Structure 1
Amino acid sequence: MSGDKPGPEPHDVPGPVAHAPRWLLPSAVAADLDPDADRAGPSGRPRRTVRDWFVDVGCFLLAVVIGLAAAHTVTGDPDVPHGLAVADQAIGALACGAVWLRRRWPLGLAVAMIPVGLISNTAGGAGLVALFTLAVHRPFRYVAWVAGVQIALLPAFFWLRPDPDLPYLAALAVTALLTSAVVGWGMFVRSKRQLVQSLRDRARRAETEAALRAEQAQRLAREAIAREMHDVLAHRLTLLSVHAGALEFRPDAPREEVARAAGVIRESAHEALQDLREIIGVLRAGDSEEAGRPQPTLAALDGLVAESRSAGAKVVLDSSVLDPVAVPASVGRTAYRIVQEGLTNARKHAPGAEVTVTVRGAAGDGLTVTVAHPAPPGPVPAVPGSGQGLIGLRERATLAGGHLEHGAQEDGGFRIRAWLPWGR
């Protein structure tokens, strides 16, 4: 029948079962409550499990027992011809055999049992089983129609075929109560299965969301480590590239200048290796707080400027922050990285130009950091770069709760300006 399959039911449609250590997964809880969830056969229909076989055999035997009890009312009635009693029992036997089709066609079987139940007392047990199956596997509107028709036909049935042991009203009331109890029991089982299905869906959704959150956390951690590696190593490697290039293009430089450049190269290489070891240590430990050396803050800005000056850069530091130690560590570290990246870019793209570093701010007003330089005074050597430094700085400033802007100036120079929050 076309109306026999209005839609998939919780017990009929198998869902995916997660693999890996299942007892640790949220979906395992609901899957354990519904062990028949993953049992689709080659034809797409659910396979009968051991539990299903027990239930089906039990329903068949129940239909047979009730049918035999009802058959006594026919065979024990002297007013019923022998041929009619045999036909009644034969139809009841066929109805009991049809109980095995209840999972595949619950609505069709329940509808077919309405006329069968009118002409055969022995088919009464099979009719109750079919009605119970319909209540379990189909929405209430189908159950209400079928059960309503059956109860509406009860007065006519007992008027034409009265029960020899019970009065008319008593038989009518008992049968109606039994039909209602079967419907209620079936709806209870259906509600329980829907609840289990809901739990399984919520568990899968929670599991998926947890996996997405873990993936996002890993991605953010990788991005943070990549920014840190760029900020730390780009500064050192730029010093190496600039001084190595100077030695390459000026092989006749004075001995003192060659020695100073070689010292800067050696020191920068040593610092780069040390920073690389720390970053690798962070990756292995899985916790950025376990780094070997403390992270730089605003108080380390003087050392950064002094290092750049010792490497031959012209840097002017103008800071109005009286107590750099009072600046929050996260804000100071972000400001340090901004200045570091600005000095690195100036060394690559404007060698020989004077770089001005300005730091202004106070608690409650925020911290403003500016790194600016004019156009380069001479030719600029080709120094490779990733092009990701300024993008990383903007991300750092945004994560710290501030903002950053950068761009070329009218005189051909370049400026980086950032504002970072500094609460009281």
Structure 2
Amino acid sequence: MSSAVVPDHPWLLPGSLVPAAVRRRTPRDWLVDAMAFLLSAAWVLLFVVDSSSGSPQLALPVGPGWLTEVDIVLGVLATGALWLRRRWPVGLAVATLPLALLSVSASVALLVVLFTVVVHQPLPLAAALVGWHLVTAPAYTALHPDPSMPFWPTLAWSALFIGAVVAWALFVRARRQLVLSLRDRAERAEAEQQLRVDQARQLERTRIAREMHDVLAHRISLLSLHAGALEFRPDASPEKIAKAAGVIRGSAHAALQDLREVIGVLRAEPEGGADPERPQPTLGDVPALIAESRAAGVRVAVVDQVVDGDAVPAAVGRSVYRIVQEGLTNARKHAPGAVVSVRLAGGPGAGLAVEIGNPWPVGGTGSAIPGTGTGLVGVAERVTLAGGRLEHGRTPDGDFRLSAWLPWAAS
């Protein structure tokens, strides 16, 4: 029986399971409904055969013979009405209330309706329906005496059977509510993880924007300084004027390059009273970063194949520093004691490649250093904004590798 959660419905309790009346039945719904219909129809057929036999084994209505025929008609109608239990479960339960007192052949159909209400409807309504069946059980037993069993044992068996159906329905109800609860928790956890990823990306964008702001301000200040020198020294030699003009041209070109990188990245203002941030590290600070890791006990092997490292653009150098920093941090967290290899290669026009690798930890366990797992998300965002590529994961040799390529335009 498929179900859905409908919040804030006027006749539903919060979080109650309700039948999906507004949608089409699934193949599983059709199968369950067909089995319920066939089970009830088989009971009606058994009642018909038993009533026409000379020595009936089932409880027949006390009174004229036409009451048996009426009972059969009521059983057929109740069996056919089972196809409506998904769309109008409450209405069907109310309409079949008198049958709990009058009809034998409708017994299975009534139990199916009772099961449906207990599973899908609010518990007060289900309790009222169960109470009706228990209250009418003595009168039903008196009107339909069992030829092979006394009154009280028959009544006890009826109550026990109703209790078994209710217990089964409550188990199904609890299981479905548990499944819905677990599904809701999974969806919330996924949404929270996506929120953390988005926050990491936004923080990385903010950090890049701040770095670009500092670099751009530095370049423009240099440009202003040389332009001011030309203004106050109009009598300078042509060689000095040409040199200053070249510096101005180079600074303006570099400033435009940095401006292209920062476009689209919003800069969040630091909180009031916060100390100004220190200059951001670049490629030249990577040796100090590696020395710091070695001092902390990490074994690092470095291969530096960068051509003309002093000419690396500041933005590219900062990205390389962050990538190496993240790779060393991951190695300390997840593969303590392993040898970490750092390789830098590239040059103007060919781009700059960074690769950090370490053996996969034995048993897949690392240290208990806390972390949210968003460091690689920030690095990926940085590399993407720079127009590069990033790959990370386990290699065919069983090692972990973090590699990136960043564009480095020729001079």
**TM-score, length of structure 2 as denominator length:** 0.55
Equivalent position to 1:172, from 148, 155, 173? 155
* Cα pair distance change 1:100/1:234, threshold 3 Å: same
Residue of structure 2 in register with 1:235 after alignment: 218
Offset at 1:50? 0.2
Equivalent position to 1:293, from 284, 302, 306? 284
1:53 paired to 2:30:
yes
Contact 2:220 2:251 in 1 (8 A): yes
Contact 1:67 1:123 in 2 (8 A): yes
Residue of structure 1 in register with 2:39 after alignment: 62
Count of residues paired in the alignment = 258
Determine the C-alpha separation between the residues in 2 that align with 1:49 and 1:209.
Answer: 32
Give the secondary-structure state (helix, strand or coil) at the position aligned to 1:95.
Answer: helix
Offset at 1:253? 3.4
1:158 paired to 2:149:
no
Residue of structure 1 in register with 2:125 after alignment: 142
Determine the C-alpha separation between the residues in 2 that align with 1:274 and 1:295.
Answer: 23
Determine the C-alpha separation between the residues in 1 that align with 2:86 and 2:257.
Answer: 70
* Cα pair distance change 1:4/1:87, threshold 3 Å: farther
Contact 2:41 2:79 in 1 (8 A): yes
Deviations 1:204-249 (A, max 9, x none): 2112212211111111100100111111232122211331244256
Which runs of structure 2 are paired with 1:217-256 in the superposition (5 Å)?
217-247=200-230, 250-254=233-237
**TM-score, length of structure 1 as denominator length:** 0.53
Larger Rg: 1
Which runs of structure 2 are paired with 1:192-341 in the superposition (5 Å)?
192-247=175-230, 250-254=233-237, 258=241, 261-262=244-245, 264-265=247-248, 268=251, 292-294=283-285
Residue of structure 2 in register with 1:6 after alignment: 12
Offset at 1:82? 2.9
* Cα pair distance change 1:4/1:223, threshold 3 Å: closer
Offset at 1:116? 1.5
Which amino acid in structure 2 is aligned with residue 154 of structure 1?
A: A
Which amino acid in structure 2 is aligned with residue 157 of structure 1?
A: Y
Residue of structure 1 in register with 2:409 after alignment: none
Give the secondary-structure state (helix, strand or coil) at the position aligned to 1:251.
Answer: coil
Determine the C-alpha separation between the residues in 1 that align with 2:128 and 2:212.
Answer: 71
Determine the C-alpha separation between the residues in 2 that align with 1:294 and 1:256.
Answer: 35
Offset at 1:254? 4.9
* Cα pair distance change 1:255/1:203, threshold 3 Å: same
Q: Tell me how large the CA RMSD over aligned residues is.
A: 3.6
Q: Which consecutive unaligned segments of at least 5 residues does structure 1 have?
A: 14-43, 281-288, 298-328, 330-424
Offset at 1:177? 0.8
Offset at 1:187? 1.2
Identity %: 51
Contact 2:19 2:87 in 1 (8 A): no
Give the secondary-structure state (helix, strand or coil) at the position aligned to 1:129.
Answer: helix
Offset at 1:134? 0.6
Contact 2:219 2:254 in 1 (8 A): yes
* Cα pair distance change 1:71/1:174, threshold 3 Å: farther
